[in-house]
Chains A and B, each alone.
Chain A
Amino acid sequence: MRHTLFLSLTLAMFWVLISGHYTTFILVLGVISIAIVVFVAHRMDVVDHESQPVHLTLKLPAYYAWLIKEIILANILVVKHIWLGNKTISPVMTTIKASQKTDIGKVIYANSITLTPGTVTLELEGDKFIVHALLRESIKDLESGEMDRRVTQLED
């Protein structure tokens, strides 16, 4: 129920912000469209905690702020090494451990790793990620486990 409500609210907001026309006719069309989408989503059985992570909503902004800071720092590092040239890079591929319990936590962690330039998640198996990194330092940062800890905090 909570997830359905959240989905309808998100869709309504999306419609109002995208359309920009506030006549009765258009708004009624919007309500009908939202009803159809929610109905189809229910039939497909995709309205659950994974498609609508309501429980994360309050904690996400702080994590996003931290992630944006990390992304900016990683970008500066990678751009620096692009201009310094091939001799300064040290590509490595290692396995790191993830401490998240739920699937959505693992996905957030893997996507955060990929989103920061310089590190890419290649494979996810159980609680082990295979990560390719452009620089040794980036892997050291990941192994220190700050990102892992923050994502785990997010899920409970």
Chain B
Amino acid sequence: METILEFSSSIFLLIGSFLCISGGVGILRFPDFYTRMHAVGVTETLATAMILIGLILHNPDFLVDIKLMIILLMTIFISPTASHALAKAAQHNKLMPKLDTDIKADNKKVTSSNP
């Protein structure tokens, strides 16, 4: 039993870490503010959940598990509100999103300027 819990906890933590790194890479890679926000979405939903589930499985103390679950619930309630506030602030300050057509044009420019 102990080993199964230990093993599954490690698996969850590993997946969570991978998702966190992916979110970070997305923030660096994506072209503009709004698309970067979607990359943050990965870190704040599934990555957080995976890491917290991993920690819950790792810890046998029931009261600590409850506290971790409350943290998970709070993150799930708070993060969309924060994302929405960020997005709305950006929109109100007239930050225009780079849409599909702009990105295609950019790519073309880059490829045509390369001889």
Contacts and interface: CB of A to CB of B under 8 A. Distances in A.
B1 interface: no
A52 to B, nearest CB: 15
A12 to B, nearest CB: 14
Q: Which of the four size classes fits the interface of chain A?
A: 20 to 34
Interface string A109-123: 011101111111111
The 3 closest A-B pairs by CB, nearest first: A117-B41, A114-B80, A82-B26
Interface string B61-102: 001001100100000100111011001100100000111100
B41 A118 contact: yes
Given A114-B84, A115-B79, A132-B87, A85 B38 contact: no
Choose among B29, B84, B91 the residue with the greatest number of A CB atoms under 10 Å from its CB.
B84
B55 interface: no
Contact of A86 (B31, B70, B80): B31
Interface residues of B, number: 37
B37 interface: yes
B22 interface: yes
B25 interface: yes
Nearest to A71: B45
Contacts of B29: 82, 85-86
Nearest to B47: A75
A72 B103 CA distance: 27
B42 A115 contact: no
Contacts of B100: 90-92, 136
A122 B87 contact: yes
B83 A120 contact: yes
